[in-house]
Structure 1
Amino acid sequence: MPAAPSPRVKTSEPLGIVFTDDGLVPNNPLPFLVYEAVIDLDSTDPAADIERMFAANGWGDMWRNGVYDYLHYHATVHEALGVASGTARVRFGGDRGRELELRPGDVAILPAGTGHQCISASSDFCIVGSYPPGPKMQITRPTPENHARALKTIPAVPLPATDPVLGAGGPLTRLWHQAR
């Protein structure tokens, strides 16, 4: 059986936001990136389209689900979230961060340490999560002890070789190298 074709991706510049450390959620000096409606999801399996896009750009260790309804972050790995269906209001950056409405075709890229929490979601909300090669994802809750540990691990997380949406020449590689 032939492989499914890669989904159509729009070349666009993502929205970039830098969240500051709030004392419990470390966030990251690298910009959090959001591509809005960047992937055309006309297929019968939009999550598979997102998985193919992430895999084609060197990101793996994928899963399908939603965003946890409690505040957390990942201190050892960067994360990409591609919306396959439904909508959700997600707060990024911790309690003093910013709420964004995520829709199908959107991709959010969280540098290690970026707080995130689902505030509300439609019943059909589904995202695909993915990570660049490297350490496995670990869920970290915002506590003073975790914050102190994260301040040591986050700067050691390597920059990804590719943007999960647009590959080696994508904006992530340029923006994150400039920020570092």
Structure 2
Amino acid sequence: MNATGGSRLALGRERHETATGGVEVDVKAGDVIVVPAGVSHRSLSAYGDYRYIGVYPEAAPKWRNNYCRGNEDMETLREEIAGVDIPQHDPVYGLDGPLVDIWNEASRQNKL
């Protein structure tokens, strides 16, 4: 596959579709982003031959899209998110990559 183009993504935005929170990030062909379990994400716009590949950990719950409608039981969803294991290695840099350390530190800070 030879993809070109890019997209503007919204990451960490509130639950309703008109929200403006979170951050917006521009990505292009060849970029890699890692989105932790439970972080909302969507494409706001795209140009060119933009395509993405989503990869999820083998033991992760089945992917689903609720379009920020808030029609799910949030406590059940929080428990499911908390049960997703931290990756054993960085998907980009491998065993010595920084992702696992960053993710573990963020997890410790969120539990304080």
TM-score in terms of structure 2 length: 0.77
Structure 1, gaps ≥5 residues long:
1-44, 47-83
Determine which of 81, 89, 98 is the counterpart of 1:162.
Answer: 89
Match of residue 40 from structure 2: 115
Counterpart Cα distance in 1 of 2:48 and 2:75:
36
**Between Structure 1 and Structure 2, which shows a larger proportion of strand residues?**
1
Q: 1:109 to 1:127 in 2, by over 3 A?
A: same
Equivalenced residues, count: 99
Counterpart Cα distance in 1 of 2:62 and 2:4:
23
> In 1, are the aligned partners of 2:61 and 2:84 still within 8 Å (CA)?
no
CA drift at 1:136: 4.7
Counterpart Cα distance in 1 of 2:41 and 2:30:
19
Structure 2, gaps ≥5 residues long:
14-18, 108-112
> In 2, are the aligned partners of 1:85 and 1:127 still within 8 Å (CA)?
no
Superposed CA RMSD = 1.8
Match of residue 60 from structure 1: none
Q: Which runs of 4+ in 1 moved over 4 A?
A: none
More relative contact order, 1 or 2 (CA 8 Å, 6+ apart)? 1
SS of residue paired to 1:88: strand
TM-score in terms of structure 1 length: 0.50
Match of residue 106 from structure 1: 31
> In 2, are the aligned partners of 1:90 and 1:120 still within 8 Å (CA)?
yes
Q: 1:101 to 1:138 in 2, by over 3 A?
A: same
SS of residue paired to 1:124: coil
Counterpart Cα distance in 1 of 2:39 and 2:4:
23
Counterpart Cα distance in 1 of 2:39 and 2:59:
17
